Amino acid sequence: MKTSVAFSLALIVLLLAAPPLVAQSVPVSPSSVESAVESAISTSGSFSIIPIDTWGSGDFDALCDTWFGDITPRTNQMSVSMDQTATTTYEGDLFFRKLRLKVGLNVDVDNNFIGKLNRLMGYINYSGFTLRVQTSELRGTAHWTGALVGDMQTETQFDNPFVSVDLLYYRKNDSSMYYGIGYTSYRLPVQLDCLTYSDAKQEVWWASGGSVYQPDMAFHIYSALFGVDTLHGAFGGSGAFSGQGFSIWMSTQDRAGAGLSYISDKAKSWVEEKNGGLPLWSAEQIAMLVDYYLTLGVQWVGDLGPVRLGLGLGFNLGGQTVICITPKGPVDDKHVDASPSVYLFHYGPILTGIVSW
């Protein structure tokens, strides 16, 4: 009995001391383990800062009348205070190469004269496809210089949510280029230009009451978009300027789309009161959007040991134009039509840095 117990204990000790059969058949050195980890996971991050960002806005149709010298009752009677002082962007990602899955976080913090615009953008990438979600709050003050009616005010503050969801695809042979589809939902203060049918002119013409504004016009727009960023392309080793060192930096994203917007009950009552009680033709609007973003400057990409670094210094210009029409067609002489046409733009110097290891 004692012999059997001693033999069993010896066997257990031997099994515990011996390395596993798998480890014996497939030896792995520390260097190969590190290589496997490095090949499976990489990290990178970037930042962008616009130290002086200037904003402007107005009525697009009135601006076109000024450009082409057309004399019409349509004038720009609204402006939005968006005197941006600085814009900072932080971005980081973790890329599992074997899973072809990318998860990242990008935070925009804008310090404004009119408040703060805080954005949170997350994106998930699988084999070139990216789902990008962006949310923010648009804050500021709208100034009205036109005639007042009802309880309209010469100034109104706004603080509205902004949501954008984009599905993007990055080209495999050139990672500096991407395209996709998107959905955007937000609210902005806008000028509403009023129209009615003129018997004297026998055509749709400006309503005699004039324009009003809406403090929180709702927009829901689907769009197609296309973008190019030579700095990110060179950082990834592709694109027109894929070599290391100094070269031209160009970053652009263009978006065009259509959707729906809505005139509120309050703005509807102002339109009707200002135009002799004529009922509004349609509160629902078809919104058509064009959005642009352009950066031009100089970029540098290089390797510093295990760290890859990219820098860009340039000038940034961006903005959008939204024009609305009613889905019911031309208005008759028994109704008044109202639609917005608004533009926004911003510009300033920009500095961007990207690093990976």
Partners of 218 in beta bridges: 187, 262
pLDDT at 85: 58
Partners of 57 in beta bridges: 344
CA distance 143 to 79: 5
Map out the domains of the chain with their CATH numbers: 42-356 (2.40.128)
pLDDT in tens, 20-39: 333 333 333 334 334 443 44
Smallest Cα–Cα separation from 275: which of 332, 334, 336?
Answer: 336
Question: Are 314 and 300 contacting, i.e. CB atoms less than 8 angstroms apart?
Answer: no
What are 82's two structure tokens?
A: 């968006």
Write the CB contacts of 340 (distance below 8 Å, at least 6 apart in sequence): 59, 190, 191, 192, 193, 214, 217, 261, 285, 322, 323, 324
pLDDT at 267: 93
Write the CB contacts of 119 (distance below 8 Å, at least 6 apart in sequence): 107, 108, 109, 110, 134, 135, 136, 162
Q: What does DSSP assign to residue 1?
A: -
Residue identified by tokens 């295990």 is 306
Within 10 A of 97 (CB to CB), how many other CB atoms are there? 12
Question: Which residues of the chain fall short of a pLDDT of 50?
Answer: 1-42, 94-99, 105, 107-121
Beta strands 116-126; 101-112: pairing state: antiparallel
pLDDT at 176: 83
pLDDT at 11: 35
Q: What does DSSP assign to residue 336?
A: B
Write the CB contacts of 105 (distance below 8 Å, at least 6 apart in sequence): 91, 92, 93, 120, 121, 122
Residue identified by tokens 């160009």 is 250
Smallest Cα–Cα separation from 250: which of 345, 352, 319?
Answer: 352
Beta strands in 51-115 (DSSP E): 54-59, 78-81, 84-96, 101-112
